[in-house]
Amino acid sequence: MAKKVEKKENLSQGVDIRGTKGEGWLYSDIVKDHFFNPRNFMRYGEEDEFKHNAMGRVGSPACGDEMVLWLQVDPKEERIKDCRWRTFGCGSAIASTSMLSEMIVENGGMKLDDALKVKPQDILNRLGGLPDRKVHCSVLGDKALQAAINDYFRQTGQHTRIVTAGSKIIDKELNITDHDIEEAVLEGAQSIEDLQKKLKIGVIHKETIPAIEDLLRFYQEKYYG
């Protein structure tokens, strides 16, 4: 009678984390490493110490994962010299943001134009892949980076370089989109005056105010009821 051989997982190739229904998700050792040892994480209380000149936020804790990315950009070379991040979400989201932060500062830092070319697949490849249902986590990282670079362009008056793909432009001259207003509301904007102070929108082009008011009400109801 043949001896029964118990099949064992090769843990050097990945970690099998079981869901509540028993399904298995295979994570690479790289994902595991970035989850337990995140690079460039913004610890609480360090916000004032880290000298950044760009910040991007995507998602919301109210409806899922949220990522915040702070960048320190060298204005002469337009190169990302340092970054910090904070992610509220699952292990895949944390590992994806950690890997992204490592990618954009290695070898002296990425130039902004090159950083804008980083795609979710680039993050996935460096992580050794993610389970299909967790691929969206790398997409959030990509969007957070784009939002931070857009913030840098806006602060330096380079409005024509702002990337607006997939967004509805509210102010064509300043390249302010509905997503910019959404992020401002998530960061605490509660009135037209708050939005004008942060984004300068509606200050010159008064005709945009009705659309701004509609979006302000929509996002306040969406996130804060």
Q: Give the pLDDT confidence of 64-120 residue by residue, as tens digits.
A: 678 899 999 999 999 999 999 998 878 888 888 999 999 999 999 999 999 999 988
- Which CATH number does the domain housing residue 195 bear? 1.10.10.1100
In a domain, 4, yes or no: no
Q: Between 158 and 2, name the one with better pLDDT.
A: 158
Q: How far is CA 204 from CA 56, 131, 172, 173, in A?
A: 25, 47, 12, 10
Tell me, yes or no, whether 114 and 204 share the same domain: no
Strand spans (E) along the chain: 15-18, 24-27, 54-59, 66-74, 79-88, 169-171, 176-177
Catalytic residue (one of 67, 137, 145, 174): 137
In a domain, 10, yes or no: no
Tell me, yes or no, whether 102 and 135 share the same domain: yes
Active site residue 83: no
CA–CA gap between residue 218 and residue 225 (Å, rounded): 10
**Where in the sequence is the domain holding 88, given as residue range(s)?**
17-158
Structural domain total, the chain:
2
- Which CATH number does the domain housing residue 75 bear? 3.90.1010.10
pLDDT for 109? 97
Answer yes or no: are the C-beta atoms of 42 and 116 closer than 8 Å.
Answer: no
In a domain, 7, yes or no: no
In a domain, 147, yes or no: yes
pTM of the model: 0.70
For the stretch 142-166, pLDDT in tens is 888 999 999 999 999 999 999 887 6
Tell me, yes or no, whether 41 and 94 share the same domain: yes
Catalytic residue (one of 1, 2, 5, 63): 63
Tell me, yes or no, whether 93 and 124 share the same domain: yes
